[in-house]
A and B are shown apart, each in its own frame.
Chain A
Amino acid sequence: MEAQSFAPILILLAICVAFLYLHFSGGSGLTRLYLAGVLVVVAVIILLPSFSIKLPDWWEGLLGGTKIQLGLDLQGGTHLLMEVKLDDAVKTQLRRRAEDIKRELKENKLDFTNISLDASGDLIVKLKSDDERTPFLDLMSKSFPDLAVSSASGIAGASYSLTFRPRDLQQIKSNAMDQALETIRNRIDQLGVRETTVQKEGDSDILVQLPGIQDPERAKELIGKTAVLEFKLVDSTHSVQDAIQNGPPPGDEVLYGPVDRGGRTPYLVEKPVLVTGDVVTDATVRPGGRLEGPYVAVDLDARGAQIFDTITAENVGRQLAIVLDGTVYSAPVIKERIPGGHVQITGRFSISEAHDLAIVLRSGALPAPVEIEEERTVGPSLGRDSIRQGELSFVIGAAAVLIFMAVYYSGAGILADFGLSLNILLLICVMAAMQATLTLPGIAGIVLTLGMSVDANVLVNERMREELRAGKTPREAVKLGYQRAWSAIRDSNISTFVAGLILFQFGTGPVKGFAVTLCVGVLTGLFSCIVVTRAWYDYLIAMRRLNAISV
């Protein structure tokens, strides 16, 4: 998204403030009308980019070329709300800690019978003998200060239950959230869609908006891939079939190959993860031979390369499974030590599959799975229909109101129409200057604003009629009409404005757009229908031509 430019909104505000100053300090009607003329010209100029009229570059530089953004419901696109499974991120971290603890225990010559995650997500450590309690607790407080240790209840022997301390838990979650946000943003950037939104919503949700996207399915695929890349050794000392039937031997697990390539090939692999995807620095698609198709070349960072070097050196002749999101893509035999951290992932990919795989590997793994909670996709043709229908109802509604006012109040009606037209112009212009998003309910909001800003004029005009009937001169009638109508106009507009604010606070997406329109409409309505229209009356009074105006 381009940087927001405040120039247009400041210029508009400046003119309005100047106008209000003249209004309250009793500046001449004519001066105010000239200023109103300036306001109209400025408003039209600010609106030009919104109607895709190209302005000179120096001009856009000055005003920032702000324009109305069309909401997804009008221009088509996809809105996704995704939940990041933060609890899973916590479990992953705890599992890593488990590996670290095992190592530390071995180094300190402490024996344990079992270290594993229980159902509620706590890490349970069972020590071999009671004598180890004190050294274990010392070790924990020294090496793992972020873990809270408590005696596990209901388990015999020296057992401890480990969880993250609340502050560290919060830290892990917020790190995971940031990483997920960053990763998803990276992936979406590679889609080549303009003006995308990726932002945090609440504690664990991410909102993604992809305007005008042609292939939402691919986007969802790309965003949703956890892309956890792991390398594990294949256990060839045991039979896979045996493991499937009788459960894998301790320390092993059964993983499968991709589903769509001639059945799922089972692999028996050793549980410990040798290298994870967070050491990937780059991933690119390379054309392969005719049989295996394109492959993805992955570069590891120094640490990853070092580990990979060691593993391959120690395990020549064994099979190394390349596991992505729990699926074994290939399990090549390590023919020789591989230094330098260059790894190839083959798997009979199509070009586009290989391409997307490279994107997700490059952009990093998601710290936890994401789940789509809300999807709103609108096709571009429907968006165009909606714009057409919105415009049609707007034009018909506006025409009806303008004609009615002119017929009913004749002269004063034409002045009111001037105010109403200015109101619409300003409303759209302010939305453009704010780079606000116009949604379908937003168009309904504009139509509604039109119907309601009429009220200010009706109130004033009805009051003027009353005063004229009471025998007041036109000059007094104008003054009193405005004066007496004001309290009603003030209170009623505050109530509508606040309804709009509440709507904005509680609404989402299109409803927010509607709320913005409603609130801006109240302000521009008050300004154009009360302040600016009054300038006409003052001008006519000064020219002694007020009698020419009938109410």
Chain B
Amino acid sequence: MSLQLIRPDINLDFVGKRHFFVILSTVINIAAVLMLIFVGLNYGVDFVGGSVVQVQFEKPTSANAIRDSLKPLGLGEITVQDFGASAGHTYLLRFEKVANIGSLGTKLGNRLAKTYGPQGAKVVRVESVGAKVGGDLRRRGFLAVVFATVFMGVFIAFQFRHTSWSFGAGAVIALVHDVLVVSLALVISQFQFDLTTLAALLTVIGYSVHDTVIVSDRIREDAAKRRREPIESIMNRAINETLSRTILTSGTAIVVLIALLAFGGPILRPSAFTLLIGFITGTYSSIYIAGPVVLFWEGHHRVGSLSSRAA
């Protein structure tokens, strides 16, 4: 037999400790909602309009120097973000409002050339989004998250209907939980929430359901086999049986994401971060959110009621 991380006969009491984790998750989720309301996501220009311009400087400079250089253009408030030394004196300039999309790149390039010399500063990326498009993208993004969540719930409820309709509810609540936890992480880190980050968030939804399905599938299978056991113990057994797989899959995915976070460059960093947090919480929620919802729904029925409906 080859390597083993998890002993095959492992039997940790996951279900028994659920009250603690449910309370913990509830607290984190409430905190997430409050933070979303009172601090808010750092929306990228994709969603609120405005411009980001990535400028590469020949020599080291500072945020204030850049701001001073651009002051005569009268472009309103400028946020300057340092992309770090590894990216070679690269700065990200963010403009809240841009009157004339399309002419910003040249205007900036000319102005910076005056301060830093003709080859001193190079505009390497311009992203400008008008307010109307921004609003449109925000609406579509929101709809995408809602559609994905609802569809997943319906799909799971249908696939597991013979065991209990509540698996759908469990998956949806687990999804909402994961989206909130990831949002909290994004609010705290103040990583930019743009289209790419949104794509990452939707992937988290996909992964979270994927993971919930694996655990639920084992519950479905065991419930059909062991008709006399209480649902708590079936659930706990299923979690333990899939634990090795959970650790392995999430582990490899997380290793890959760390590679992406470390080597993928600054543009991918927000989405790699989102995926990393999302995969961790997605794995956790399959055990401590989706499961308890099913338990709560089913009350404390003997499993007779659960398995009599099992295929």
Interface residues of A (CB under 8 A from B): 73, 80-81, 83, 216-217, 220, 224, 371-379, 381-382, 385-386, 389-390, 392-393, 396-397, 400-401, 404-405, 407-411, 413, 440-441, 444, 447-448, 450-452, 454-455, 458-459, 462, 465-466, 469, 484, 487-488, 491-496, 498-500, 502-503, 505-511, 514-515, 518, 550-551
Contact = CB atoms under 8 A, between A and B. Distances in A.
19 contacts: A374-B130, A375-B127, A376-B127, A382-B124, A389-B268, A393-B259, A441-B199, A448-B257, A451-B257, A458-B249, A459-B249, A469-B8, A492-B214, A499-B205, A503-B199, A506-B140, A507-B199, A508-B195, A511-B195
Contact of A404 (B8, B106, B126, B252): B252
B256 A386 contact: no
B137 A505 contact: no
A100 B264 CA distance: 63
A83 B101 CA distance: 12
Given A377-B125, A505-B144, A451 B253 contact: yes
B89 interface: no
Contacts of B209: 492, 495-496, 499
B69 to A, nearest CB: 20
Interface string B118-129: 000011111111
Label chain B's interface by main secondary structure.
helix
B227 interface: no
A488 B249 contact: no
A379 B122 contact: yes
Contacts of B104: 375
A465 B8 contact: yes
Interface stretch (B28-36, B148-156, B229-237, B301-309): B148-156
A401 B2 contact: no
Contact of B260 (A224, A447, A505, A515): A447
A379 B125 contact: yes
Contacts of B245: 455, 458-459, 462
B85 interface: no
A447 to B, nearest CB: 6
Given A81-B133, A462-B245, A385 B221 contact: no
Contacts of B103: 217, 220
Interface residues of B, number: 76
Contacts of B221: 484, 487
Contacts of B263: 389, 392-393, 396
Given A216-B105, A444-B272, A550 B1 contact: yes
B195 A510 contact: yes
B99 to A, nearest CB: 11
A499 B249 contact: no
Interface centre among B123, B130, B220, B260 (most CB of A within 10 A): B260
A404 B248 CA distance: 10
Given A374-B130, A376-B127, A454 B252 contact: yes
Contacts of B211: 492
Nearest to A413: B2
A454 B253 contact: yes
Contacts of A400: 252, 255-256, 259
Contacts of A389: 263-265, 268
- Pick the 10 closest A-B CB pairs, nearest first: A499-B206, A389-B265, A506-B144, A451-B253, A488-B217, A451-B256, A397-B256, A372-B102, A397-B259, A379-B124
B133 A373 contact: yes
Contact of A375 (B102, B203, B275): B102
Contacts of A484: 221
Given A372-B101, A507-B195, A495 B267 contact: no
A76 B125 CA distance: 9
B252 to A, nearest CB: 5
A89 to B, nearest CB: 18
A497 to B, nearest CB: 8
B102 A502 contact: no
Contacts of A469: 8
A116 B19 CA distance: 74
A503 B105 contact: no
Contact of B202 (A404, A454, A459, A502): A502
A386 B151 contact: no
A389 B143 CA distance: 32
B183 interface: no
B54 interface: yes
Interface centre among B130, B133, B205, B210 (most CB of A within 10 A): B210
B25 interface: no
Contacts of B255: 397, 400-401, 404, 451
Nearest to B202: A503
A374 B48 CA distance: 12
Contacts of A413: 2
Interface in B86-123: 101-106, 122-123
A220 B102 contact: yes
Contact of A377 (B2, B126, B132, B152): B126
A387 to B, nearest CB: 10
B40 interface: no
Nearest to B87: A385
B259 A495 contact: no
Nearest to B215: A488
A459 B214 contact: yes
B196 A511 contact: yes
A379 B123 contact: yes
Contact of B2 (A376, A410, A448, A502): A410
A441 B196 contact: yes
A159 B127 CA distance: 50
Contacts of A459: 214, 245, 249
Given A382-B125, A459-B249, A499-B152, 9 more contacts: A372-B128, A373-B132, A382-B56, A389-B264, A404-B255, A447-B259, A458-B252, A500-B206, A514-B196
Contacts of B271: 441, 444
A389 B210 CA distance: 28
B5 to A, nearest CB: 8
Contacts of A551: 1-2
A215 B286 CA distance: 51
Contact of A224 (B102, B130, B241): B102
Nearest to B246: A458
Contacts of A492: 209-211, 213-214, 217
Contacts of B206: 495-496, 498-500, 518
Interface in B1-52: 1-3, 5, 8
Contacts of A393: 259-260, 262-264, 268
A455 B199 contact: no
B198 A511 contact: yes
B218 interface: yes
A161 B85 CA distance: 65
Interface centre among A386, A487, A488, A514 (most CB of B within 10 A): A488
A502 B259 CA distance: 27
Interface in B150-206: 151-152, 155-156, 159, 195-196, 198-199, 202-203, 205-206
Nearest to A379: B124
A522 to B, nearest CB: 9
Contacts of B8: 465-466, 469
Contacts of A220: 102-103
A452 B159 contact: no
B137 A408 contact: no
A269 to B, nearest CB: 28
A533 to B, nearest CB: 16
Nearest to B128: A375
A208 to B, nearest CB: 11
Contacts of A382: 54, 56, 124-125
